[in-house]
Homo-oligomer: A and B are copies of this chain.
């Protein structure tokens, strides 16, 4: 069974760096309520924040999302896990993302990494992603990983954190084993 897992805002916690950038650009702290329900760089006056994503180094030093390492490793041991990340928009991000995975998820083989633009080309059984646009074109079952920008989105099974992801797949596995026996 193949599970496709997104990086940004799913395995990777991008918000801490966004908050720093906001403070550097605006000279004040951001109120997370200000971007609740939308993309942080859609806030007026900080459109240039998105330009930072094009700079070499941006994707290299972002923190790991809470519990991601342990749960991704558990999934990796039990399923055919692929990391499927939107990357081709940013010509300098690849080596950064590759080194991030090497550092934080060293158990992931390079064969299981996909850097793409439009995720509709990959297929599998499950996709864990924070964007409904990616889940919509996926052939399998989508799990919407909660992020501030997607809180109003509906139509997909929602997982709020990595422990919920872990429990979802543990339950799936238990149900499978029960069906087999």
| Contacts from A to B (Cβ < 8 Å) | 2, 4, 82, 84, 87-89, 91-92, 94-95, 98-99, 102, 109-118, 121-124, 139
Q: Which residues of B contact A122 (CB under 8 A)?
A: 121-123
Instruction: Tell whether, in the assembled complex, residue B88 and residue A121 are in contact, meaning their CB atoms are under 8 Å apart.
Output: no
Please judge, given known A-B contacts A98-B94, A123-B123, whether A88 and B111 are in contact too, CB under 8 Å. Answer: yes
Instruction: Tell whether, in the assembled complex, residue B109 and residue A113 are in contact, meaning their CB atoms are under 8 Å apart.
Output: no
Q: Which residues of B contact A114 (CB under 8 A)?
A: 88, 114-117, 121
Number of copies of chain A assembled together: 2
Q: Which residues of B contact A92 (CB under 8 A)?
A: 95
A110 to chain B: closest residue by CB:
B88
Q: Say how far A22's CB is from chain B's closest CB, in angstroms.
A: 26
Q: Say how far A168's CB is from chain B's closest CB, in angstroms.
A: 21
Instruction: Tell whether, in the assembled complex, residue B118 and residue A121 are in contact, meaning their CB atoms are under 8 Å apart.
Output: no
Instruction: Tell whether, in the assembled complex, residue A82 and residue B121 are in contact, meaning their CB atoms are under 8 Å apart.
Output: yes
Please judge, given known A-B contacts A95-B95, A98-B91, whether A117 and B110 are in contact too, CB under 8 Å. Answer: yes
Q: Say how far A144's CB is from chain B's closest CB, in angstroms.
A: 21
A84 to chain B: closest residue by CB:
B121
A117 to chain B: closest residue by CB:
B111
Instruction: Tell whether, in the assembled complex, residue A98 and residue B109 are in contact, meaning their CB atoms are under 8 Å apart.
Output: no
Bound CA span A111–B137, Å: 14
Bound CA span A111–B116, Å: 7
A2 to chain B: closest residue by CB:
B121
Q: Which residues of B contact A118 (CB under 8 A)?
A: 111-112
Please judge, given known A-B contacts A82-B121, A121-B2, whether A115 and B88 are in contact too, CB under 8 Å. Answer: yes
